[in-house]
Chains A and B, each alone.
Chain A
Amino acid sequence: MTGPEDTYGDEALAAEYVLRLLEAPDEQAFEARLREEPQLRALVAQWEDRFAPLADGLPGVPPSSRLRAAVLHAVGAGPAPRSGWLSGWRDRPVLRPVLAAAAIAVVAFGLFQSGPRDGTATGYRAELASEDRSVTLLARSDASADQMLVEVTAGSPPAGRVFELWLIADGAPGPVSLGVLDAGGETRITVPTALLAALPAGMLAVSDEPPGGSPTGSPTGTVIATGAVEAL
């Protein structure tokens, strides 16, 4: 580097490096120095911090859901893309035993149910639990199927977070929110009529979300507890 621009020294060089303005040979020379000079690394970090709000201010653009599956698959956290979101959930370690149990429960129910069944839940219950059972919840129908009572029987959300309840219906494109749970005691939830038929073969899940619930309409926090719905 020669010329009047050198007046500004490493400070400007670091900014140019961060902006990716350096030509390949200069960039490589700078990177060689970076490995040796902590104060140069500090200058780079400062410039990265200064510019990042420009990018952070961009309005978000949601990528396709196919990409999500591909990304999770790429790190071994999901099945091959295009096989549906439920399989993605199925691969979550937390869910695996629960889903297996749910499958058994569904088969058992199919074998041993006595009365006729029209596909609409009249009475049902679900026990939700985290893997270590530090969080457990009980969900059950009240006077009618669309009235669900949900009680947190153990545990609480992390500080500053709330529990949100989700219905994972078989074959649905994604979890559907049933609402945010009250901090203490029992929450009464009115299940939308359109979801009633999906309840008996469904799973319930609780995730922790920011106050007011997930801003995206899908779980954004950790799925803390899950449980299969059993028809009564």
Chain B
Amino acid sequence: MTPREDIERLIARVALRDQSAFAALYDVTSAKLFAVCLQVLDHRGEAEETLQEVYVRIWHKADSYAVTGHSPMTWLITVARNLAIDRIRRRRAATVAIDEAGAVADDRPGPEAAAIARSESSAIRACLDELETERADAVKRAYLHGETYKDLAQRYDVPLNTMRTWLRRSLMTLRECLTR
């Protein structure tokens, strides 16, 4: 992976409207951001359209990166994931209008089956491993696939409020683990 400072430098130059830096930033980060869009959207065409939106957003918002206080990859990933989830929400709004009662939960492979590469520095992964499998899975489904409380409640066949209580508790356990 390209070192953090290199990506940071590229973002700084993109903020100054440097088009060659933008092309270079695209070349080093697009595969990762495309993977993020694909995880959420599970549809290549939609993921490609979203990725284009993501980079246009990056082009226009690069000057606000510095104030986020994030590492460059965190910022890029956050932009990509949020736009992908916006997209899936629009898709769902359209689907629900057609099929009011449609079950939202699908049977695509879960996060574990999705061949997630392990990064040794990933504290979140270690802490998720400390949770019960289903609960860790629910957090990952929310983050990586943009699943909602409603999706998760259906998937695990529990009332919505129970799902919410479960997940909030898991999040607090995670935070404890991550800050110790």
Docked-complex contact A53 and B121, CB < 8 angstroms: yes
Residues of A within 8 A of B161 (CB): 3, 5
User: A19: nearest residue on chain B (CB-CB)?
Assistant: B142
Q: How far is the CB of B52 from chain A (nearest CB, A)?
A: 5
Query: In the bound complex, how far is the Cα of B38 from the Cα of A8, in angstroms?
Result: 32
Interface residues of B in 86-116 (CB under 8 A from A): 114-116
User: B169: nearest residue on chain A (CB-CB)?
Assistant: A8
A61-B148 in contact given A54-B143, A56-B77 (Cβ < 8 Å): no
B134 at the interface (CB under 8 A from A): no
Residues of B within 8 A of A70 (CB): 52
A71-B51 in contact given A53-B122, A77-B23 (Cβ < 8 Å): yes
Query: In the bound complex, how far is the Cα of B161 from the Cα of A77, in angstroms?
Result: 49
A63-B31 in contact given A57-B117, A74-B52 (Cβ < 8 Å): yes
Q: How many residues of A contact B (CB 8 A)?
A: 53
Main secondary structure of the interface of B (DSSP, over half): helix
A117 at the interface (CB under 8 A from B): no
The stretch of A163-171, A180-188, A215-223 in contact with B is A215-223
A67-B172 in contact given A57-B118, A62-B30, A222-B24 (Cβ < 8 Å): no
Docked-complex contact B116 and A58, CB < 8 angstroms: yes
A50 at the interface (CB under 8 A from B): yes
Query: In the bound complex, how far is the Cα of B78 from the Cα of A210, in angstroms?
Result: 25
A92 at the interface (CB under 8 A from B): yes
Docked-complex contact A49 and B70, CB < 8 angstroms: yes
Query: In the bound complex, how far is the Cα of B70 from the Cα of A213, in angstroms?
Result: 28
Docked-complex contact B117 and A59, CB < 8 angstroms: yes
Residues of A within 8 A of B119 (CB): 53, 56-57
Q: A15-B168, A54-B125 are in contact. List 15 more A-B contacts (CB 8 A).
A: A5-B168, A20-B85, A45-B70, A53-B125, A54-B124, A55-B32, A55-B81, A56-B77, A57-B119, A67-B51, A71-B56, A75-B59, A77-B20, A220-B28, A221-B24
Q: List 5 A-B contacts (CB under 8 A).
A: A45-B69, A60-B35, A62-B31, A74-B52, A74-B59
Binding site for B on A (CB under 8 A): 3-5, 8, 11-12, 15-16, 19-21, 45, 48-64, 67-68, 70-72, 74-78, 88, 91-94, 160, 210, 216, 218-223
